[in-house]
Amino acid sequence: MKSKRVSGHLLSSAFCLTLSLGTLSGAVQAGVTDKDILNDQATTNDVVSYGLGPRGQRFSPLDTLNTKNVKKMHPVWAFSFGGEKQRGQESQPLVKDGVMYVTASYSRIYAIDVESGEELWQYEARLPDGIMPCCDVINRGAAIYDDLVIFGTLDAILVALDQKTGKVRWRKRMGDYKAGYSFTAAPMIVKGMVVTGISGGEFGIVGKVEARDAKTGELVWSRPTVEGHMGTLNGKDNGITGGEANKTWTGDLWKTGGAATWLGGTYDPDQDLIFMGTGNPAPWNSHLRPGDNLYSSSRLAIDPDTGKIVWHFQTTPHDGWDYDGVNELIAFDYKDRGKTVKAAATADRNGFFYVLNRENGDFIRGFPFVSGITWAKGLDKNGRPIYDEAMRPGNPSDSEDGKKGKTVFAVPSFLGGKNWMPMAFSQETGLFYVPSNEWGMDIWNEPVNYKKGAAYLGSGFTIKSMYDHIGSLKAVDPKTGEIVWEFKNNAPLWGGVLATAGNLVFTGTPEGYLYGFNAKTGEVVYKFNTGSGIVGSPITWEQDGEQYLSIVSGWGGAVPLWGGEVAKKVKDINQGGTVWTFKLPRS
């Protein structure tokens, strides 16, 4: 197929002919509505949101593919992102009207015909020199709304493209990349608005959540996630986050407080609340910033109409280990003594699994989901950690030369009991399927001063293995804390999880395998090697009576960059960049 490059994107000339016929992959394209997004989990012929629905449960009611026939599933096409731009491929594809939209490393996005695997168009952002993504040049996915495909770039720009042509319809800057702002998350659509966070917590930026009119890109509201900063609504001041400055921060440190919202969020239509997690406070050296440092390492419930914070839950107050609280908060219901509990769950980077009342943020229960936690002795009745202060990295000013504080061995490592990789919740089993890692770290504090655009850590670290394995996919009962089953993997797990009504759970490994498990027992019922490490998130949908499954393969992300001794364990894994698509034979 011949292609040509137009205005920073690659446009397929063959695709123009398709457009002139008014059809696309045999189906007329229809605009994606708010209703389509709210119903995404129940409508099995497409995937129009990150997380397979606004709650982010990553559960499909499809059961055509099940434990009895999954071994017959086979690849039908593999699409290469091409070129030398590989690195980590952490994307989750979207599918609408026979077209897949999938992002790739270095801020690229592709439209692919799902029947043939043929490229329809691609767009590649023109990235400036000097971008500062902390944890690889990845992108986790796009959003689709009306006739637009919307995604963010590494230089913190939000771009809306025409679904049919890939041409830019609007473009908005989210932050100054020279100050350390970047963007790697998948945007979220709520009530006709595109809702985004921001990356850059390691550079002393100030986290924020913003909502824009999805059709125009115009800013509706902005909510900083560090107390003391002013929010806005329709261009006017809309209250200071936390009410005032310096309540839980010292001096002017709130001005460079971190709390980056780098993973994006979920939305609960029942309560009409956006759930957004926040990252570490800056700098990492906690002795420089006494106090709880709100709203870092927290989950925030935000009113989508005003951008006001309705409630918050801080998982690691006064964080000294880089235990970002960004991990997805997933709304779910369960029965307790005959009553329905409106709950939400998150598996935190700090190693604890939390169940909250999503109506008010009250703590219901919490428990470890990884072994050997050292930094805390447990959680109190309100879910606040009971610190073991001997396990906090020491203050450099207490040392003889003032250059290095006491080193401690902290479990989990700063890469977390669970990092960004999304877990899944099965409505069939009532279990969460958590991609976790068992590892620890030597960590110490050092002096540091803020400088715009420079790393703002004040800590050093070395990540270490604890057992023969690191990766662990766990089936967790949120009502009891029981680990129902566990799959151990040699290398760290760094990809997302999918659960289906066919009693199946899917995820990938750095060794390149797509695994399928029996959701109830953990038995491996499917295994296929994609040729490169998997750090993406699988999806499934139905087309013409057949169930498809897709996953992006391509090794990279934070582990090889920040993994220390652990990185040596995965140094021989090949890079790649391929979308693999599978289905059952019709027979």
- Catalytic center residues: 322
User: Is residue 5 part of an annotated ligand binding site?
Assistant: no
Which one-letter DSSP state was computed for residue 468? S
CB-based contact 29:98 (threshold 8 Å) = no
For 66-73, the CB contacts below 8 A with 24+ separation are 66/502, 66/503, 66/504, 67/502, 67/503, 67/504, 67/518, 67/525, 69/584, 70/502, 70/504, 70/516, 70/525, 70/526, 71/525, 71/526, 72/584, 72/585, 73/516, 73/526, 73/549, 73/582, 73/583, 73/584
* CA 48/CA 159 separation, integer angstroms: 17
* CA 148/CA 503 separation, integer angstroms: 34
Tokens of 560: 């090889």
Q: How many CB atoms lie within 10 A of CB 396?
A: 22
Tokens of 61: 């009611």
User: Is residue 184 part of an annotated ligand binding site?
Assistant: yes
3-state secondary structure of 201: helix
E-only strand ranges, 360-445 = 363-368, 376-379, 385-387, 408-410, 424-425, 432-437, 439-445
CB-based contact 197:208 (threshold 8 Å) = yes
User: Is residue 375 part of an annotated ligand binding site?
Assistant: no
User: Is residue 365 part of an annotated ligand binding site?
Assistant: no
User: Is residue 118 part of an annotated ligand binding site?
Assistant: no
Label residue 3 exposed, middle or buried (CB < 10 Å: 0-12, 13-18, 19+): middle
User: Is residue 480 part of an annotated ligand binding site?
Assistant: no
Tokens of 420: 């960004």
What φ, ψ does residue 172 adopt, rounded to 5°?
Answer: -135, 140
CB-based contact 410:484 (threshold 8 Å) = no
- Rg of the chain over CA atoms, in angstroms? 22
Burial 246-271 (b: 16+ CB within 10 A, else e): eebbeeebbebbbbbbbbbbbbbeeb
Please, what sign has the CA dihedral across residues 481, 486, 492, 494?
Answer: negative
Tally: H helices and E strands in the chain? 4, 42
Label residue 387 exposed, middle or buried (CB < 10 Å: 0-12, 13-18, 19+): middle
CA 287 to chain centre: 29
User: Is residue 90 part of an annotated ligand binding site?
Assistant: yes
E-only strand ranges, 38-118 = 59-60, 74-80, 94-96, 99-104, 108-113
User: Is residue 280 part of an annotated ligand binding site?
Assistant: yes
Instruction: Provide the β-strand partners of residue 580.
Output: 78, 551
* CA 281/CA 199 separation, integer angstroms: 13
Instruction: Point out the annotated binding site.
Output: 90, 140, 184, 202, 280, 322, 419-420
Pick out the residues of the known binding site for pyrroloquinoline quinone: 90, 140, 184, 419-420
Provide the annotated binding site for Ca(2+).
Answer: 202, 280, 322
